[in-house]
Structure formats: C-alpha cells, structure tokens
Structure 1
Amino acid sequence: MPQCNFCSDSFFKVNALITHLKIIHRCEEYGVFVCGEKECHRHFPCLKTFRKHLKSHESLSNSQMVSSNDSLSNFSTVSNINEACYMSVNCSPSLSNSINETSLIESRVFIRDAAFNEFKEKMTENNINFICDLYSEKTLCRKDVQKIIEKVTVLLLDPLNMFKNNLGNILKNHSVSESDKFEINKYFVELENIFEGFHSEYLRFAHLENLGVFIKPLEFTVGERLEKNKNGILITKKYTAQFISLKNVLQSFFSLSNVLSETLQYLKYLKTQKIILNIVQTENWKNKISNFKCSDIVLPLFLYYDDYEIGNPLGSHSGIHKIGAIYYSVACLPPSVQSRLDNIFIGMLFHSSDLKEFGEKIMFSKLVDELNTLSKKGISVAINNTNVHIYFCVALFCGDNLALNSLFGFQESFVANSFCRLCKSWKSDTQKDVVENIFLLRNKTNYSSDLLINNAYLTGIRFNPILNNIELFHVTENYSVDITHDIFEGVGNYIMSYLLFEFIIVSKFFSIDILNTRLKYFEFDSGHNKPPLITIENVKNKHLRMSAAEMKCFILNAGLIFGDLIPEGNKFWRLYTLLRKILEIVLSDFVMPDMYVKLGELVREHHFLYKQLFGNLKPKFHFMVHYPLVLKKCGPLGKISTIRYEAKHRNSKLSGNVVASRVNISYTLAIKHQLQLGNRLLRKSELCTDNEIPTCQKNHRVHDIVPDFDNVVKNSALLIKDETIPNRFLQFVAKVKRVTVKNKVFKMQDVFSFNIENRTFGYLELIIVNRDNQICFIFEEMEVLSFNEHCFSLHLNNTKKRKSLFLDDNLVINIHKIQLKDNKNFISLF
C-alpha cells in the first residue's frame, strides 16, 4: 500500500485517511492508479492538487478500463475516485456524519472486493485446470495448446463486447450509480483478459512451478562433438540428457492425501500374512534394510531400464531417435494400484546412442547421487500437520536380459562364452544344464576377482558399472528375471511353435482351419488379449507372431482350445503340461514355502524333456533354472515382470508421434510427462482404490431382495472379521447388475474364485450395495469335481449352496469363463 506525506498532512480525520488508503489500494489492484514515473505517489500540498494529479491519469485509466468505442465509457473510474475522495473529506458537515458515511463506504468496498476477488480466484483456478487438461492430452503437443488458448481468447472477445455494449445501453435507462458501473466494468475487464498471466508458455510453466505441481526436468550435458552446421562450419555441439528429480516426485506423490496411509496400511496387512505376497516380506529385503531402525519407514523402489523407438521402427530413420528410459515405481503400493501407469514415473530420458558413446558413468551419475540421497536422508512429508520421514532403497533393477546386461556391464551378446548375469556358467554348460549350479552363482567376492582378471571372454564382465555405487545395492545381488521375455516371448513361443508343427504338419491331429475356428469362437476370460489367427506359414516356420500378452493367453487356454484333439500320453503334449505347471507357480500372486522346490523340479523335468525332443537349450531356457532362487529372494515373479513398464512406452510414443520436430526430443517427452503428472498433482488425485459402483437409489431392505439373507450370512464364504458388517446391509441397499472392483468388472452370472490358500469358486447371483458403497456378493458355490491334467482345466459343478461374500480391500478375486465340453463345465486353471 503506498505511503505519502500528503495523506498524513492533509487528511486530519482518521476515518477519511482509511477511506483514502482503501481507494489508493483498489486503484493499484485494478490497474487504474498507474504512472510510468517512479515518483507516482509524490507529495501533494492540498486535496485540490491531489484531484488534479488523478485527472492527469484519466486518459490512461480510461484506455485501460474502457475502450474508446465502448458504450460503458461513462464509467469514469478516475472521477469516481475523485468523488469518493472529495465526499470523504470535504462534504461532511460534521464529524459524526463523516464517520457514518465512511463506515458505509468501507463496508460496501469490502463486500464488493471480496466478491470480485472470489471471481478472480475462480477464473484463475479454471484457467489452470483447463491448461493442465490440455497439456495432459497425449495427442496434443505444446504448440497445439498455445493455438487453442489464442483461439479461445478470440472466440470469446466479440460476443463479450456485444454483451458489454448492450448492457451499457440498458444501464443508461436505469438509475445505476457510478460506483456500480465501475464494479461491473471490472468484471468485463477480467473476462476480456481471460488468459491474462497465462498467454505464454513461459508464464504458464512459471505459474505451475509456483504451485508446486510442475517438476521441471533437469537438462545436463553428457558430452560434446564437433559437427558441421548447415554452412559447413565446424561447431561444438553439446549432447544432453533429461533427469527428473526422484526426490521431488516422490515427495509430491506421497503428499497426496491417501497415498502414504494406503501404503502403510498394506504394509501392516503384509506383516500378518504367512505367505509371501510382496518383496518386503522376503528375507533378502529384510537383510538389506537391517541397518535402519525398526521405527523407520523404508520403502522399496523398482527401477526399470529399456530402449524404445519414437518413430517408425521399420522406417528409414529408425534407430536415430531411439530413446533410453529409466522408470521407477514404489514396489509396496497396494496390488490394485501398483500396475497403474500413472504410478510409474520417469527418472531419466536420453538418446540410446549417447549412452554408448559417452558412457554410463556420466549418464547415470545424477541418478546414483539421487538414489543415495533417498537412502541416507529420505524425504519428509507433511500428513495431517505431522512430518513423516520416509526412506527409499533400491530393491531391484528390472528389464529384459539385454537391457540389464548392458546396464550392469555384462556381455551383451547371448552367444558369448559367459552371458549370464546371475551365474558364471559357460555357454556349453548352459545348453545342457537343467538345474542351477549353486557353486557358480555370482557374488561380490568372485565378482571382484573377475574384475581383476579383466577378460570379458572368460568372466562375462566388461566393466564395473557406476550403479555399484548405489547404497545397499550390487549388481550380483540384483535377483531379477523377466517372465515376459523369458517365457511368453521366448520359451513359450518356441514350444508352442514346435508343438503346432508336430501336431498339424507331422502327426496331422487337426488342420490349421480347425485350430483357427476354435480360436475364433473360444470365449476368453475378460482382461485377456485374444490371440490372432495363425497362418500355415507361421506353423511351417515354427514361429508364432504374437505379442507377449497374446502368447500368454494362448498358452493358458491351449488345453481347452485343442487339447482334446491330442491323444493322451503324447510326449510332445507332456511338454505343454509341464510348461503350464511352471506357469501356475510363476504367475501366482503368492509364494508358499514348498513352491521353491516344486518349481525347481518342474523346470528340471521340462528342460530334460525339451532336450530329448528338440536338442540343446537356448539362453532363455537357462535363465529359467534361476527362477527358484529368484522366487525365494524376491517373492512373486509376476510382480517384477516388465510388461507394465513396457506399456509406459506407449504414452511417450503417442506424444512423440504428434511432434514434428526431433530436436531435443528427449526434453520434449520429459516435459510432456511432467505436465501429465502435474495435472494429477493439481487435482490431488489419490490412489484409485475405490470401487466403481453404478449410481442408484439405495432405498430397499435386503430381505426384499434376498428373503433368506440371514441364512446366507450364516453361510458366509469367509470369516467375517467385523460382525457389524452384515447389519449395514439390512436396509438402504440396492441391487446392481455390475460393479468394478480393483479394475475388474463383475457381472451377475459370472464365475469367480477367491481365497488364496483354499480356492473357492462361485456362480454370482446377486450384487448388493449398501449406502456406504460396501459390496456383498450372493453366489452359488461351485465344487471342483476333478482336475483334467491333459487339458489343464478344472471340472466344476453347481452345489446349489447359497453363500455370501463381503468384499474387503485385501481380497483377491479372479473371474473365469465357463467352457462347455461334452455338456460339462470347465475353466482354465491359472
């Protein structure tokens, strides 16, 4: 607020002084009392001189507030101010009248200012939300956002001026005070400048940074090269990479209202479980964080590295703009949200060629420093006015075999003499070994010895990576395998290709047309990627062209698709059933103590039979002999699969396709991702753990829907921990046809299974929801009559026993499709 001697010398009344200061403040706020001179608020000897000074700014004020052709030009803001100043000082015949008038003016000013400030704040809020929504769209580049903002401004300008002119004509015929006209004109000025402060990208980014929702990537130089410019002159060109602070992102992420509470609640639940559901329950993780205090909150991080092509991978420019990415996620988030792409964050983006040319020490130095900071110092998050300190440690680096071998400094060629990052077995041994040789496993001791030998042919180690400088991490203890590439794009593809060749071409058990007909009309489970039809060329070439998700679906359902066409006891089909038994353990959401030994026996038998039928083992078969060890060290193997991380590539590919320029494409993609994250932080989007329930009126009594509800509750499928839950369903309930629970859609007449330790199957009859949006399933229990190992399926039958199931957050439920074979109900087991 401006201070001038004139105010203290001439305004002898306290109430008049207050009124004057309020007017000056309002003038400055709305851009009326503006002067290019530094001594705008100079001293005035009398009020007449002050009014004269204000009149000198009248033309400037009118040009800012009212256009020359505006019919509201009689809203003379400066004259209003002069009037108010004059009335507040000279027009009061007595002190009491002056005080009353001043109090009235003050109250009116306060009310109008509060309403107008609320209007401005709402406009700013809507502007930010609108801008963030535009930036978060994958198929809009930043140039498009700028165009949209400019066109929206033009779109509104003419209609707004027309409305303003019409309103001015109406007000001429009514007795509207000058002060009211002034207030109306302020709103028009704001609407005319709707994107004021947001009209350029610089201002928008600055505003988002000030709000703390836009975490800008840090661009740093990784190397320089001499190159010729367009004029043929040699110049020094700098090559950069993008680093996004893990600390800032995690701090913002865990500051969202329910992220930390849901995570800690899940960790608390894991402590009560005897079976292993997450890596935090393994002895390997507990030993890693043994130096922390018991009261410390230490969360595991999964990091992922891979390269992906932005443009057409088959085009003439393929490989030029190949991008390397480091992603990371918190490994102990609740299972229902852990695989969501918005919970996987980008740590680094760079050109893959720059990593090869300038080296990993320069490229990953900032990443290593940041990870060490998170491990030593952690982050502090304010939750409910309480500061909570959280530490993060690297649990695993995930990725396909090529990515991890290159990242960790091992041989990148899988025809090399020693290619395995987990053991020191030679290539000739990996082709015939069907079990893991524990004496050849890599550890810190023999790794240091191999470094001294400095012979990659003998040891498989090319260099000592900078990642070994990460606290509580070493590459020999990174027990990570990838079932996506090892099985579904590797071993599984080999086996299914060889089997179809044997069954169709050699033994002629069925034709390719019969196979495709069954594939076409087979009812796959919801959420599965239906495999494409298979050509005879695919069979003859012994290579099926399917994605990892499609191959997974094909393998899991092959028994019911064409297993009945294969004679029982067929030795080739035995290879398939062994693979299915392996997948039953590998894809399991939990690990029990006997699974390690069982998996090792199955892998041994499977590999031995493959050698008998088809010859030497391929490298991906060798990685499978380490699965029992990794299962014990890291828990469920599906939790460390790369399939969800690879899905994250799609966002960047979509964004890259709408950007014409490839100049510093890594920076463009990093900015885009951070703007998408900023949109989430701005809206304070929590972990999406809530169920999706159709909107309906909950005005029924449960006994009107389920007359025998009391008996059904007594036959509850699971022990009801909270005895008050059934009472909450007695009234104010509704029957719905479908609900979404943890991203799975349940409909009436579905067949589902639950209960990890003792799997129970049910035919869903009714879905009931109470007013608290709690869900109860009423179902008929289905009994397992037999297990058909040949088709690897279960034979089910309805028992007519009605039971209830009250859903909770930790209940794992799977949906199945019934397949009819000889009028019997079968489901694929997985």
Structure 2
Amino acid sequence: MLSGAAKRKKKKNEEEQKKRQQGALQKFLSGSRPTAVNLLESAEPEAEPGPETRPEDAVEDAAGNAAEDAVGPSTSAPSQKDKLMEEQQPARSEPNIVLQQEPLDPERVLTSYPSDPAKWDQIDDRMREYFALNHPCQNIGDFSASQRKYGDINRSLTKEHFFRKKLNGETLSRKWLVYSPSTGTVFCYCYQEVDKESFILLDDHAIASLIPKIGHRVKFQKQHKELCYEDGCRRTFEYIRSFQRHVLQHPFPEQQNISSEQCFRGGTGASVEGCSVPISAQMQDPDISDTSEAPTEENEDDECWDELEPETLAERIALFLATLRSKSAQTYSAVSFVVQQTSSLISDIVNSLQRKTLSLFGKLGHEDDPRVQELVSDFEAAASPFRGLESDFKQMQYFAKSGNFIHPLEEALPGVSFVQRRDSATGTVRQVAVQDVFHRVPLKPLLTKLLETQDILDVIFTWQQRENGVLLDFYDGEYCKNHPLFSSDVSVPLLLYNDDCETVNPLGSKVAVHKLGFLYFTIKCLPPQLLSRLSSHFLVAVYKSDDAKTYGIDSILLPVIEELKDLEVNGISLNTPRFKGKMRFSVAQFCGDNLGLNALLGFTESFSSNYFCHICKAHKTTTRTQTKEDVTLMRNEVNHAEDVRHANLSETGVRRDSVLNNLSYFHVTHNQVADIMHDLLEGVGPYELKLVLSSLIEDKHLTLEKLNFRITSFDYGFPDLKNKPSCDWKA
C-alpha cells in the first residue's frame, strides 16, 4: 500500500516520462515535416536550466531546492523565431502528418507571449486554451514590486510562497500561483476539469475549494473565466455559481432506459448497467464526432441564453423565496421584509433604466416602433418581479400549484382539548372544544418527487453497485444482505428518526407546555456526501409531546405505518430516463435518543427499571459489571411475543406490542442501532475521555501543558475550525 507521498512521486515520474516521450515525438515530426509542426508546441522553450526554462520545469527545479531562483521564459527569443521561420520549407514526400490544422502565427506566439498575468485580458480564446494545456510562467524571481508596508511592518512576496512544505518533509509546488512583476500582485491560475455529473453535486464549499488561497501577505486577484464547452456553447462566466446554473440548462445525452429487471444483480442491492458513464467524456474528446447537427449562426442568434420569459422569471423568483424560507435563521416576517425591500429596490433601478432607454429612443425617433413598446412591457414586468408572490399565502399557493410543495395532511387524534376563545360580539371568554390533531407529510408523493429529481437515481444505483469489501454503509452489512426485501428486489431502505424539541425557554415557566415531537426519515442508500446533509432529512410528522403521552405514540404512528405498509407491497411507479418500473420501500431501522426510542418500540421509558434495554434482557445489576455480549440474553421475535403475553413490565421491560410490528419487513427486536450523538458524543464519550487523559497524566505519559499545547496547535482543517475546543484544561 503506497503512502500519499509515494503516490504523488510515482505520478510525477509518470508525467515527466510522458513529457519526454512527447518531446521526442515533436523533434521527430519537426525534422521530417516542418510545415506540420504544432506551432504552439514548438513555441515552448527547451526543458533545460537557464533563462529559457519552461514554467513547469522552473517550478520543479525550485521545489527540488535549487540553488538559483527559477525564472520564466523570456518574451524575446529571436533565435528560436528565426529558426522556426527558416524551417518553413517544402515538405518531403512522406505521409502528411497534421498536428494542428490552423496554427497560430509563430511570431505572435514567441514575441507576444504575455508572461505577466496583468496582461492576460489582451489574449483571445485560443491563447487561453493554450494556457489551459500549458501552465504559464510563474515569474519566480525579482519580487521588489510586491513590497507593502502595513504600519511599521514591511511585507513582501518570497519564493517560499510558491511552495508548501508538508510535515513529512515533502515539498509541493503551488503551480496555480502566477506573479505579476508590473503590479506586484499574485494571480490565481485556476484550471480543473470536472465532469458534468460531478459538477452538479458540488456544494458551495466544494466549489470554493477549487480556488486555493494563500495568507494575507499578498494581494490576491482572480483572472480566470469559466468557459462552457457544452454543445459548442463557448459562453464565459466570471462567477462559478452562474457557470453552475448555466451548465444545468444543457440537456443530458440520450441514454438507454433501464427496466427494473436490469437494475438488480442480487446480494448487495440494486445495480444499474451503464450508470457511471462520464457525461463529459464526449465533450472532452475532440476526436469524437457529434452526430447531431451543428448549430448555425442563425440558430445562435435566435437562442438567447440570458432571456427570461415571464414563466421563467416567476420560477427564478419562487426559487429565491424557497431558498430564503428554507434558512432556519429566517423568520417569515423577515422574508416578507426582504421581499418588500427588494421589490422596491428593483423597481427603482428598472424604472430609472426605463426612463433613460425611452428618452434615447425618443431622440432617435423610434418611440413608435412596436419593438420599443414590447420593450416597455418587459421593463414593467421586470420592475415588479414579486408580483403574485407578495404574501405568505400567495407564495405557498404558488409552491403547491407548481408541484414542488407537498402539502401536509391533518390527522385527527381520539380526543379533544378545551381552549379559551373570546366572543367578538359580546367580548366574553368561553371554553371551546377543539379536536386534537397532528400533521404528517404523505410519503408517496414526497418519495416520487425525490426519486424523479435529475440524477438522483444514478447516484443511488452507482453507490449500491459498488463492491469494495469494506463496511462503509448499510448495504455493506450482513443485515441488509440477508434482508428479504433489500436483497432480492429493487428497493430503497428508509431510516426513521424521532426526537423532541423544546420551543420555548427551557428554564421558563412554560417548559414542556409547547414541546413538540418530530419524526424524520432519510433515504439510506444515498452516498455519504449527500446523506450527511441536513437537506437530505425529510419531515414525516410533527405532533405535541403531550398528545403522545395522552393518546400514546401508536395513535400517531398508525397513519404513517399504514402508508409504509402500502409502500412495502405496492411501492411507487417511476418513469425516469434511467429507470422505469416499480420501486418498493421499507423501514431499515429506527433511530433516536434512548427515551424516545424505547417509547416508539414499546419498551419501558424508565432507565431505573429492571430490564431497560431494548436490545437485550440483561438485568440492571448485570449491566453494571457485564463487559461482553451474552447472546442468550438477546431479544428476538419469539421471546418478545412471550413478554407481550406475560404483560409484566418489571419482569420483561416490555410495555406493549408496538404498532411497528405490523410492518412486513421490520420488527422491534431487529432494531439494534444506537444514536452515536446521544450515547457517545453527548453521553459516555466525554466522561471516558476524561478518565483516560487523567490516567495518562498521572502515569507521567503526558503532561497537562503539553496536552493544552497540542489542542491549540492542532490543524483542525476548514470543517472543524468553528468547533475548535478550548484549551484551558486544569488538573
């Protein structure tokens, strides 16, 4: 097993070998067919140390602790240019080898090579593509222009900023840094190929990580523009988010439909043939000819990518509002305030532009042109983007009508509650009986909407079909492999989670009065990068905790269980480009805190009981000394049925037969998961860690000062910087 440093060294050697082979091929071709030489390639200097060193070699020499500073290629190379011009002689009678059909002017390549990144805005798209294939010169040399003075501190760029030294002594070169001698600043040369399928799944943090950062010693400027290669689009974008939204507008390639019979390959879950074909493979290979008809100039003129029709504009505004409402820190009153202020701001800006535009058309004598009148209508529509979405009621109405909002259902509970209502006519207060209810989200339309989302089935099937022999997920365990549904049919496991939430001050007088209980679910066959997101957790039901105590949790679970039983038998019918057929669902496990989990599964809700564990039947006195599992004490369907018939809580720990046992592929004794957050991270973990550290310090293996220093100096990485622990530990 190679280490990370060994893998990088091996990769570096392979790249150097490829460069040497390419250089030999270029020399051979240039000697036999001077007119067929790629002038872009021939414009590169030879890879020998000196003033004509290539940028890549200069960086590698510096990374290898070269004694002298590496410098970039000189912009004046008359000998090389004259040599190229003299070589333009009639070709020999050998087969014609064409490396580039339209070579660039060699004089322009050699004499106008903009080694200074501050001048990159003067080059065209072909030169940008040349930079994409060949890293530009880093200009590692004289950094006098980078000197800055901050108060009494003088700072300047040094050669060390272009390299990173790891803890194991390995030196890595930052090839994406390019220095501008004229401005004394550093530019970020960012170029990374990402296929479309992976690009869609990138979140904000992943996109931001494509642009590396250096410290505060240098001024950082981004000079890179994203170029779209989809279907010959060639549009450029300065912002990565705009580029991502634009890529999603391009249709995916036509691919064959996959039936339910083709999806399953037995044993470890579903498997789809051809799901992991890179979408960007065709667009990245210039030799693959596209059979579709190339767009003509007229088609390009007719198609306006930035034009927003009224329907499209409404969808964009609705997406903006939905994103704003999804933020947990935003109240609905704050959303309404943002809508009002944003609408006023946009209206002022558009009206100002409208007046200037109409004034210009009036001076030109085109105010009566029908196209001008149409433009006026467009201005008026743009001035009121939130028309029809001003209030909360209209927004929810639009979301429901669009089909993207699954309206919750109100389910009645067996009893009523009496509340005080004031009579508006007489002003007197009287007691009114109100039906007790809870709300739940229907699972069928929600799951259908989720699985019909673009590419979600591709992600699920690709993750299910992996076979690496490592226990990474629910599908890798023996429970799933032996499950009667998950191991023999196209199915999706669901993980349900239950927890309570206090909506008021936990120290106030209203504590537990307004306490709510929530039931969530997650699709367990998603890959970790999606499963770990909060957006992958979906609400099933919300209820008052007092109602669960009054009527029992089974009265709340019963409508949910009935729908889950239907999903186990009938499933849902999907009709997507990648899958057509029936997909079934079942509960894989229930998760939650121990108190809530025992209540859901029908066990005792007191942990001072004799038999408090929902996994085994060990007595509480035994659990205080037992350190190994006793398989004879494990709960199963047989002894659980006997305990239910026995109906003695103190001798069995079973309070009732849970309604969850009505499911075809789930039983409460099969639920052997524990919530790591409640049991370890917020449970016994901190206490055990405290005892272990105390023992190490007492045995002189570690000092408290060294422990505090290690906590302070540890590299936590970007995800954990905000969770860095305090280091004022005392004995």
Compute the TM-score of the two structures, normalised by the length of structure 1.
Answer: 0.46
Give yes or no for contact 2:346–2:384 (8 Å, CA) kept in 1.
no
Give yes or no for contact 1:251–1:379 (8 Å, CA) kept in 2.
yes
Q: 2:323 aligns with which of 129, 133, 142?
A: 133
Matching residue's letter, 1:357: T
Which SS does the other structure have where 1:284 is aligned?
helix
The CA deviation at 1:184 is 4.0
The CA deviation at 1:282 is 3.6
Structure 2 CA distance for partners of 1:256 and 1:166, relative to 1, 3 Å: closer
Q: Which residue of 2 aligns with 1:251?
A: 448
The CA deviation at 1:473 is 0.8
Q: Which residue of 1 aligns with 2:475?
A: 280
**Counterparts of 1:482 and 1:503, CA distance in 2:** 29
Structure 2 CA distance for partners of 1:261 and 1:385, relative to 1, 3 Å: closer
Matching residue's letter, 2:725: P
**Counterparts of 2:683 and 2:356, CA distance in 1:** 73
The CA deviation at 1:407 is 1.3
Structure 2 CA distance for partners of 1:492 and 1:142, relative to 1, 3 Å: closer
User: Could you report, residue by residue, the CA deviation over 1:275-306 in whole angstroms, capped at 9, with x for unpaired residues?
Assistant: 4433334443344325x894x31121111111
Which SS does the other structure have where 1:364 is aligned?
helix
Give yes or no for contact 1:410–1:419 (8 Å, CA) kept in 2.
yes
Q: Which residue of 2 aligns with 1:531?
A: 725
Q: Which residue of 1 aligns with 2:432?
A: 235
Structure 2 CA distance for partners of 1:316 and 1:131, relative to 1, 3 Å: same
Q: Which residue of 2 aligns with 1:155?
A: 345
Q: 2:528 aligns with which of 329, 332, 335?
A: 335
Q: 2:665 aligns with which of 472, 492, 501?
A: 472
Mapped pair 1:266 → 2:457: no
Matching residue's letter, 1:320: V
**Counterparts of 2:403 and 2:624, CA distance in 1:** 55
**Counterparts of 1:408 and 1:289, CA distance in 2:** 21
The CA deviation at 1:442 is 1.2
**Counterparts of 2:590 and 2:484, CA distance in 1:** 17
Q: Which residue of 2 aligns with 1:217?
A: 408
Matching residue's letter, 1:277: L
Q: 2:542 aligns with which of 322, 329, 349?
A: 349
Give yes or no for contact 2:457–2:578 (8 Å, CA) kept in 1.
no
Q: 2:387 aligns with which of 165, 175, 196?
A: 196
Q: 1:368 aligns with which of 544, 558, 561?
A: 561
Query: Percent identity of the aligned residues?
Result: 30
Q: 1:434 aligns with which of 627, 642, 645?
A: 627
Q: Which residue of 2 aligns with 1:146?
A: 336
**Counterparts of 1:171 and 1:319, CA distance in 2:** 67
Structure 2 CA distance for partners of 1:483 and 1:185, relative to 1, 3 Å: closer
User: Could you report, residue by residue, the CA deviation over 1:361-404 in whole angstroms, capped at 9, with x for unpaired residues?
Assistant: 22112211221122111122222185232111111111232221
Q: 1:123 aligns with which of 310, 313, 325?
A: 313
Give yes or no for contact 1:512–1:534 (8 Å, CA) kept in 2.
no
Give yes or no for contact 1:360–1:466 (8 Å, CA) kept in 2.
no
Q: Which residue of 2 aligns with 1:319?
A: 512
The CA deviation at 1:221 is 3.2
User: Could you report, residue by residue, the CA deviation over 1:161-219 in whole angstroms, capped at 9, with x for unpaired residues?
Assistant: 55555655555552544645643443344234433322333332222222221122223
User: Could you report, residue by residue, the CA deviation over 1:59-117 in whole angstroms, capped at 9, with x for unpaired residues?
Assistant: xxxxxxxxxxxxxxxxxxxxxxxxxxxxxxxxxxxxxxxxxxxxxxxxxxxx99x9999
**Counterparts of 1:297 and 1:331, CA distance in 2:** 14
Q: Which residue of 2 aligns with 1:654?
A: none
Mapped pair 1:485 → 2:675: no
**Counterparts of 1:172 and 1:534, CA distance in 2:** 73
Structure 2 CA distance for partners of 1:169 and 1:332, relative to 1, 3 Å: closer
Structure 1, gaps ≥5 residues long: 1-110, 540-830
Give yes or no for contact 2:573–2:581 (8 Å, CA) kept in 1.
yes
Matching residue's letter, 2:492: L
Structure 2 CA distance for partners of 1:429 and 1:147, relative to 1, 3 Å: same
Q: Which has the higher helix share?
A: 1
**Counterparts of 2:572 and 2:595, CA distance in 1:** 33
Matching residue's letter, 1:129: L
User: Could you report, residue by residue, the CA deviation over 1:28-69 in whole angstroms, capped at 9, with x for unpaired residues?
Assistant: xxxxxxxxxxxxxxxxxxxxxxxxxxxxxxxxxxxxxxxxxx
**Counterparts of 2:602 and 2:401, CA distance in 1:** 41
Give yes or no for contact 1:468–1:474 (8 Å, CA) kept in 2.
yes
Matching residue's letter, 2:727: L
Q: Which residue of 1 aligns with 2:107?
A: none
Matching residue's letter, 1:220: E
Structure 2, gaps ≥5 residues long: 1-300, 423-427
**Counterparts of 1:365 and 1:161, CA distance in 2:** 57
In the TM superposition, 1:535-554 aligns within 5 A as 535-536=729-730
Structure 2 CA distance for partners of 1:115 and 1:360, relative to 1, 3 Å: closer
**Counterparts of 1:438 and 1:116, CA distance in 2:** 66
Which SS does the other structure have where 2:529 is aligned?
helix
Matching residue's letter, 1:252: K
Compute the TM-score of the two structures, normalised by the length of structure 2.
Answer: 0.52
Give yes or no for contact 1:197–1:203 (8 Å, CA) kept in 2.
yes
Structure 2 CA distance for partners of 1:527 and 1:154, relative to 1, 3 Å: closer
**Counterparts of 2:546 and 2:591, CA distance in 1:** 21
Mapped pair 1:289 → 2:460: no
The CA deviation at 1:482 is 3.2
Give yes or no for contact 2:496–2:591 (8 Å, CA) kept in 1.
yes
Which SS does the other structure have where 2:645 is aligned?
helix
Q: Which residue of 1 aligns with 2:219?
A: none
The CA deviation at 1:353 is 2.3
**Counterparts of 2:482 and 2:321, CA distance in 1:** 47
**Counterparts of 2:650 and 2:441, CA distance in 1:** 37
Give yes or no for contact 1:289–1:298 (8 Å, CA) kept in 2.
no
The CA deviation at 1:160 is 4.7
The CA deviation at 1:508 is 7.8
Structure 2 CA distance for partners of 1:359 and 1:172, relative to 1, 3 Å: same
The CA deviation at 1:518 is 4.0
Q: Which residue of 2 aligns with 1:53?
A: none
Q: Which residue of 1 aligns with 2:637?
A: 444
Q: What RMSD in Å do the two structures reach over aligned CA positions?
A: 3.3
Matching residue's letter, 2:628: V
**Counterparts of 1:181 and 1:509, CA distance in 2:** 83
The CA deviation at 1:476 is 0.9
Give yes or no for contact 1:308–1:322 (8 Å, CA) kept in 2.
yes
Structure 2 CA distance for partners of 1:241 and 1:169, relative to 1, 3 Å: same
**Counterparts of 1:359 and 1:138, CA distance in 2:** 30
Q: Which residue of 2 aligns with 1:412?
A: 605
**Counterparts of 1:479 and 1:398, CA distance in 2:** 9
Aligned residues: 421
Give yes or no for contact 2:358–2:367 (8 Å, CA) kept in 1.
no
Structure 2 CA distance for partners of 1:266 and 1:448, relative to 1, 3 Å: same
Give yes or no for contact 2:564–2:663 (8 Å, CA) kept in 1.
yes
Structure 2 CA distance for partners of 1:184 and 1:266, relative to 1, 3 Å: closer
Matching residue's letter, 1:397: F
Q: Which residue of 2 aligns with 1:100?
A: none
Matching residue's letter, 2:418: L
In the TM superposition, 1:15-34 aligns within 5 A as none
Which SS does the other structure have where 2:563 is aligned?
helix
